[in-house]
Chain A
Amino acid sequence: MSVSVPDTASKPHKGFRLDLKTAGPLLALILLIILGYSLNPLFLGEGNVTNLLTRSAFIGIIAVGATFVITAGGIDLSVGSMAAFIAGMMIIIMNAAVDSMGASIWTVLLGIGCSLILGIGAGFINGFLTTKGKIEAFIVTLGTMGIYRSLITYFADGGTLSLNRGAREIYRPVYYDSFIGLPYPVWVFIIVALLGWVLMNRTAFGRYCMAIGSNEQVARYSAIKVDRVRTLTYILQGLCVSLATIIYVPRLGSASSATGVLWELEAIAAVIIGGTMLKGGYGRIGGTVIGALILTAIGNILNLTDIISNYLNGAVQGVIIVAAVYLQRGSFRTGRRAKKAE
């Protein structure tokens, strides 16, 4: 216990160096944009920028939730399966509602309501099992990941669940229509990110998350209700997954066992690229947003050019992700931090 005291004591000093940490991911994004533009000027075309922002909304919204979970020292591997499961449930419920009372705006609102309840509920289960069940978050969420993935496969009969055509026409604008030039998903992403930033940096809850992530015992002795805060981070994560699902379903109007595969890894990657520590204790919502944009931009750039063999797409992605994180934790920085920790 005594070893950890200097660690918390050094925390306030880190605050003054924030600008360096902020610059890293942003620099990586700017370099990526320059690369994209030089490979194909269409990269910065209006249509492509809108596509890119809309696409990054799913991973981005989920990653905002993941920032809280990871900052508080947890991890959630179930988000991709959870998104697929919630999407499937929404479609089943909305189809049933259309059969019994016809398609209307209420069908869609019912679907959205169920999605929120399911998301919060699923997050609570993860949080409850982790805190009260005292099972490692990795194991709990690995378990729920498998459960949700099988459930969607089961309910879809191994195939694809499709939303009723009538309900689809009503719901479709939520993904495809715009407000002041930006599609609705982008607005949802912006609002979630802003709320997340306030929650992380301007409230006691955010400070509790960081305190628990950097040292759970000290946080407990400081009268922080560790279990409650932890559970809340998972509920927040569930809520974010449900919001992402609400804007995902109108895109293709379908869900299958292939929906949301590997989203958990993309969300975690976005969080880490953004400067949040995987071991917890320090979280940056702004960085997470940039991380999500970087991840989406890589795929987009690869589609816009044919100078790189298709077979190497994964390799390019890997190199850029590692390089982005290196920019923010360059050797000069780790060297100094290592000395301080000693």
Chain B
Amino acid sequence: MSMKALTLALAATTALAGAAVAQDQIRIGVSIPAATHGWAGGLNWHAQEAEKRLEAAHDNIEITLVTADSPGDQASDIEDLISVQQIHALVVLPFESDPLVEPVRQAKESGAFITVVDRGLPDASIQDVYVAGNNTELGSVSAEYFKTRLGDGDNIVILRGIPTVIDTERFDAFMAGIEGSGINVLDDEFANWNRDDGFEVMQDFLSRFPDIDGVWAQDDDIAMGVVEAVRQAGREDEMFIVGGAGMKDVIKGIMDGDTLIPVDVLYPPAMIATAMDVTVANFTSNGPVQGEYILGAPLVTQENAAQFYFPDSPF
């Protein structure tokens, strides 16, 4: 805690000094969750890359990136960005939607331009720009692919994420997508967007069901665990696995023609960079930027995989 106070104090002095030197600097605060799992790791990496790129491209743009470990932590971060950094714009990927409404509203009332990323706030009037991936589309695009590979009487299992709105949207859209196709869902279990859980849940599915034709893991971390379980059982030739997100190892495998994970559905952590670009454009471009930007969830296949491959990203 005292460390935090110290950094705050330091940040305060630098901010005051900065403000005194250049009045026309545009200060943008970016508040995102800390890198606690693979996808968030990618998010942090892309945010840092975008920060470097935007600050190099524009002399008058100053970006402050803060990461939070919990919704409460993030609320304090945002308060600090408003009072200490006196930001002109806030780019926020809320840890959870509801607890962060008031902190973001305060930022809005202080006159800042608000960009909300990925997890929408229940009160949409607060935001100027909304950038998000499309969980519903992720589910339906996956379902479309399953329908091209499987038909009446084929069996699949589903590994879900953590019980949240994101997971429910994906799951419901997938189930609606395969409805009427005759594809039979043997069971679904939560694997918590985690490789170890993916491995164990899949091991149990494999001992329980002798006939599985496809696995929808809806996340690449889970899919990596599933792959190991399927290899252990020696049943690679019986089924295929579809994850989601766009992890570099998976994309690389698809480029190389892997048959076990033949495709991926994109839910890119790089969306934070899109959000930062749009926010900067609000101050530098003459075009209007307000509105909602819903990124597609395209199917990544061997043909188009190269354009989604970031070998330097940690995710």
Contacts and interface: CB of A to CB of B under 8 A. Distances in A.
Contacts of B59: none
B224 A153 contact: no
Contacts of B196: 251-252, 258-259
A208 B293 CA distance: 66
Nearest to A261: B194
Interface residues of B, number: 39
Given A252-B224, A258-B37, A157 B314 contact: yes
B38 A51 contact: no
A159 B314 contact: yes
B180 interface: no
A156 B34 CA distance: 13
Interface residues of A, number: 32
Contacts of A164: none
Contact of B35 (A257, A261, A306): A257
B38 A159 contact: yes
Contacts of A160: 38, 41, 195, 221, 314-315
A261 B59 CA distance: 43
Interface stretch (A107-115, A218-226, A272-280, A297-305): A297-305
Contacts of A311: 163
Given A254-B224, A310-B163, A311-B163, A303 B205 contact: yes
Interface stretch (B86-94, B103-111, B148-156, B183-191): B183-191
Contact of A299 (B45, B194, B200): B200
A40 interface: yes
Interface in A142-169: 153, 156-160, 162
Contacts of A257: 35-37, 41
B80 interface: no
Most A CB contacts (10 A, CB to CB) among B203, B221, B249 go to B203
B313 interface: yes
B313 A300 contact: no
A40 B187 CA distance: 14
Nearest to B205: A303
B207 A42 contact: yes
B27 interface: no
B303 interface: no
A251 to B, nearest CB: 7
B163 A159 contact: no
A164 B234 CA distance: 22
Interface string B219-237: 0010011001000110000
Interface in A247-262: 251-252, 254, 256-259, 261
Contact of A51 (B35, B42, B207, B221): B207
B314 A158 contact: yes
B35 A159 contact: yes
B4 interface: no
A55 interface: yes
B24 interface: no
A310 B160 CA distance: 10
A159 B313 contact: yes
Given A257-B36, A303-B189, A157 B208 contact: no
Contacts of A138: none
Interface in A279-321: 299-300, 302-304, 306, 310-311, 313
A47 interface: yes
A42 B208 contact: yes
A160 B220 CA distance: 12
A159 B224 CA distance: 14
Interface in B206-258: 206-208, 221, 224-225, 228, 232-233, 249
A153 B203 CA distance: 27
A303 B206 CA distance: 11
B36 A258 contact: yes
Contacts of B201: 303
A265 to B, nearest CB: 15
Contacts of B42: 158-159
Given A42-B208, A251-B228, A306 B37 contact: no
A48 interface: yes
Contacts of B195: 160, 252, 254, 256, 258
Given A158-B44, A256-B37, A48 B207 contact: yes
B113 interface: no
A45 interface: yes
A326 interface: no
A118 to B, nearest CB: 20
A299 B194 CA distance: 15
B61 interface: no
A252 B204 CA distance: 16
Given A159-B314, A160-B195, 7 more contacts: A40-B208, A158-B42, A159-B38, A159-B41, A252-B195, A259-B196, A310-B188
18 contacts: A40-B208, A45-B207, A51-B203, A51-B204, A153-B35, A158-B35, A158-B41, A158-B42, A159-B38, A160-B41, A160-B221, A252-B224, A256-B37, A257-B36, A258-B36, A303-B200, A303-B204, A310-B160
